[in-house]
């Protein structure tokens, strides 16, 4: 199968890292997969392809009846054709909204924890979390020397969807215990893995909106797969990780819980869980099953 990731160039957008992981996983699974930026093209070169795209990168995407589409937050007017809609799958991140709508609603099918397929509309919708960017063959339990810093790689911000308020107590606990709290953006995959793996602690702390909605950040899957003890303020994360992470809504105390934890078998089990269930290979297998 030829797969076209019609996406954001690497480091140009937060979603580019998701496209990078999809590209890597499709190729690992034996599909011919190319990753192209949004630009004008001759669409005759794209017969019988499977496209994966995101709504801020699909202005020039070829829209053809002989192709299939995996669409995330796209303007559906562009794809408003009965044949194309039938051959498409809308991809959404999981929140508790999907779980709640599924109660006594036959249009929703639970496929796995935090994974639902909705079939009521003209186009099927798959709700699932993202995953670690490591492939299963790259995940193994290895102990690295921990430095006296704690890296947060990703966005820190305020507002309705922000996480600054929730991160602040953890950050203060780091500073009170002579651990340097460091923030970084736009790192290579290798730099990301190295800095997280060697951090003293590396939490997956969500903001108030994500906490309330049960949003599952990919940070938890990445950090655990890099060899870090899972730390979170989210009960939804604790649930999908089958209780194999430390959870405390008080992120100041979360720091101390992480410092005092000596349960090495819990970390090994969490790493194996991510390897078995939470890679982009798993996510692609679910997507392809829903497209059939």
Most distant CA pair in the chain: distance in Å?
61
Same domain assignment for residues 254 and 146:
yes
Q: Can you tell me the distance from the alpha carbon of 13 to that of 131, in angstroms, rounded to the nearest whole number?
A: 17
Q: Per-residue pLDDT averaged across 275-283, rounded? A: 98
What pLDDT, on a 0 to 100 scale, did the predictor assign at position 184? 94
Give the model confidence (pLDDT) of 90-128 as tens digits: 999 999 999 999 999 999 999 999 999 999 888 999 999
Same domain assignment for residues 8 and 122:
yes
Q: Can you tell me the distance from the alpha carbon of 221 to that of 219, in angstroms, rounded to the nearest whole number?
A: 6
| pLDDT of 44 over the 90 cut | no
Same domain assignment for residues 125 and 255:
no
**What residue has token string 């709504």?**
55
Beta partners for residue 3, in sequence order: 33, 50
Q: Per-residue pLDDT averaged across 79-85, rounded? A: 95
Q: Can you tell me the distance from the alpha carbon of 13 to that of 213, in angstroms, rounded to the nearest whole number?
A: 24
Q: Which two tokens stand for residue 274?
A: 């991510």
Average pLDDT, the chain: 95
Which secondary structure element, helix H or strand E, spans residue 32, and what is its range? strand 32-37
| Length of the chain measured in residues | 292
Q: Can you tell me the distance from the alpha carbon of 116 to that of 94, in angstroms, rounded to the nearest whole number?
A: 8
Same domain assignment for residues 116 and 19:
yes
What pLDDT, on a 0 to 100 scale, did the predictor assign at position 93? 97
Same domain assignment for residues 20 and 83:
yes
**CATH code assigned at 65:** 3.40.50
Same domain assignment for residues 103 and 156:
no
What pLDDT, on a 0 to 100 scale, did the predictor assign at position 43? 87
Q: Per-residue pLDDT averaged across 8-34, rounded? A: 95
Q: Which two tokens stand for residue 223?
A: 């950090």
Same domain assignment for residues 73 and 34:
yes
Q: How far is CA 82 from each of CA 96, 124, 290, rounded to the nearest angstrom?
A: 30, 12, 18
**Residue among 153, 140, 286, 145 nearest 219 (CA):** 153
Confidence of residue 144 (pLDDT cuts 50, 70, 90): confident
Beta partners for residue 116, in sequence order: 110, 127
Torsion region of 207: left, alpha or beta (phi above 0 gives left; psi -120 to 50 gives alpha): beta
Question: Please, what is the angle between helix 218-225 and helix 189-197, to 10°?
Answer: 70
Q: 60: burial class by Cβ within 10 Å (0-12, 13-18, 19+)?
A: middle
Q: Can you tell me the distance from the alpha carbon of 91 to that of 260, in angstroms, rounded to the nearest whole number?
A: 39
| pLDDT of 52 over the 80 cut | yes
Same domain assignment for residues 271 and 254:
yes
Same domain assignment for residues 105 and 142:
no
What pLDDT, on a 0 to 100 scale, did the predictor assign at position 162? 95
**What residue has token string 């020039």?**
60
**CATH code assigned at 246:** 3.40.50.2000
Same domain assignment for residues 62 and 147:
no
Give the model confidence (pLDDT) of 195-246 as tens digits: 999 999 999 999 999 999 999 999 999 999 999 999 999 999 999 999 999 9
Same domain assignment for residues 156 and 249:
yes
Give me the domain span that covers residue 223: 136-277
Q: Which of residues 77 and 262 earns the better pLDDT score? A: 77
Same domain assignment for residues 152 and 268:
yes
| Structural domains in the chain (count) | 2
Q: Which of residues 45 and 174 earns the better pLDDT score? A: 174
């Amino acid at each position: 199968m030829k797969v076209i990731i019609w996406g954001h160039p690497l480091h140009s957008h937060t979603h580019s890292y998701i496209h990078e992981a999809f590209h890597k996983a499709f190729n690992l699974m034996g599909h011919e997969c190319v990753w192209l930026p949004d630009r004008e093209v001759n669409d005759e070169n794209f017969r019988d392809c499977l496209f994966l795209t995101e709504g801020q990168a699909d202005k020039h995407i070829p829209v053809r009846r002989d192709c299939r589409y995996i669409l995330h937050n796209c303007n559906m007017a562009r794809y408003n054709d009965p044949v194309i809609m039938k051959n498409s799958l809308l991809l959404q991140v999981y929140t508790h909204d999907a779980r709640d709508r599924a109660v006594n609603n036959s249009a929703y099918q639970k496929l796995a924890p935090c994974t639902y397929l909705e079939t009521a509309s003209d186009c099927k919708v798959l709700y699932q979390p993202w995953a670690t960017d490591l492939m299963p063959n790259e995940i193994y339990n290895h102990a690295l020397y921990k430095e006296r810093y704690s890296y947060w790689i990703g966005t820190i911000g305020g507002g309705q969807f922000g996480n600054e308020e929730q991160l602040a107590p953890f950050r203060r606990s780091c500073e009170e215990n002579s651990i340097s709290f460091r923030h970084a953006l736009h790192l290579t995959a290798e730099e990301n893995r190295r800095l997280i793996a060697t951090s003293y602690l590396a939490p997956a702390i969500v903001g108030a909106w994500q906490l309330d909605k049960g949003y599952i950040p990919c940070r938890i899957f990445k950090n655990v797969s890099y060899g870090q003890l899972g730390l979170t303020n989210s009960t939804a994360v604790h649930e999908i990780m089958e209780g194999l992470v430390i959870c405390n809504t008080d992120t100041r105390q979360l720091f101390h819980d992480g410092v005092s934890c000596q349960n090495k078998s819990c970390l090994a089990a969490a790493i194996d869980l991510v390897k078995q269930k939470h890679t982009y290979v798993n996510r692609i297998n679910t997507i392809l099953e829903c497209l059939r």
